[in-house]
Amino acid sequence: MYNNTVKRRIVLEERLQKFLARAGIASRRASERLILEGRVKVNGRTVKELGIKIDPSKDEVWVDGKVCRIKSNYVYIVLNKPKGYVTTVKDPFGRLTVMDLLKGFKHRVYPVGRLDKDTEGLLILTNDGEVAYRLTHPKHEVDKTYLAHVEGHVTESELKKLNKGIMLKDGMTAPSKSRILKFSQKGTLLEIKIHEGRKRQVRRMCLAIGHPVVHLKRIAIGKITLAGLKPGQWRFMTEPEVEYIKSL
C-alpha cells in the first residue's frame, strides 16, 4: 500500500515552472524568471527557488495575486510576420507588435521565440507553455529555416564556416545546415537552418563571414510552414501540425 502511494505522488508531482508553462502563464524560461522575482506563491508561501515540485491536484499556485489553473483550451496559431512589427505582447515605446495583427482575437496567446523588427516570416503563437518550451529550447534541436539574401557572392569555404559553427561574441554557434540557392548580380540567396535562438543570430553569422543580410525571412519551424500565408495573415494550426509539435 505504501509503495503504491509513493508511486502515485511521483507521477503527480512536477516542477513549478513546468506547471506554470502548462497553465499558459508564460514559457518555461519566463516562468523561471517569475519565480526568481518572487511573484509566485504556493499554498500562500512565496517561492523564490527553482526546482521546487508541486502536486497540481493538491497545491494552490498564485502568480501576481491570481490563482493559476491548467487550461484545456489551448490555441496554436501560425502567423506570417511582416517587417516593422516587434515580437512582443506589449511595447513600452508604442511600436507595432505582432499582437496588433490579432486584433479581435479573444484568447490570450504569446509569441514562441522572436523575430527581430526587420525580419519577416513564420511565427508561432500559443498559450501552451510546455509546447513553447519544446520549440525554443536548443536541447530539442528543432530546426528553424530561413531564406537570407546577403551581399556579395558566398564561396564554398565561407559556406563551410557557417556549417561548422561561427564564433560570435556570445560564443560558438552550433553547426548550421546552410546551402546556396542562387546567385544574383550583387548577392546570394542562402537557405540557413539553425536550432538555436540567439538574438539576431542569422544576421550575425552572415556578417561574420563578410556577407551582411539584406533581407531575411523565416519559412519553417520544424515541419510547420507558412502554407501560403501572405505577410500579416495568420491561421490556426491543423490537427496534424498540433500533434507534431506536441510530439517533439
Whether 143 sits among the annotated catalytic residues: the reply is: no
DSSP characters for 49-78? -TT-EE-TTT--EEETTEE----S---EEE
Q: 3-state DSSP call for residue 62?
A: strand
Q: Which of 116, 118, 128, 143 is catalytic?
A: 116
Cβ count within 10 A of residue 77: 21
Strand 213-221 with 120-126, pairing: parallel
Cα gap 31→238, rounded to integer Å: 27
Residues paired with 226 in a beta bridge: none
Cα gap 166→149, rounded to integer Å: 18
Closest of 239, 185, 233, 189 to residue 215, by C-alpha: 189
Q: 3-state DSSP call for residue 58?
A: coil
Phi and psi, residue 247, nearest 5°: -85, -10
Distances (CA, A) of 220 to 10, 14, 18, 113, 226: 37, 31, 26, 13, 7
Closest of 114, 165, 181 to residue 144, by C-alpha: 114
Q: 3-state DSSP call for residue 103?
A: coil
Catalytic residues: 116
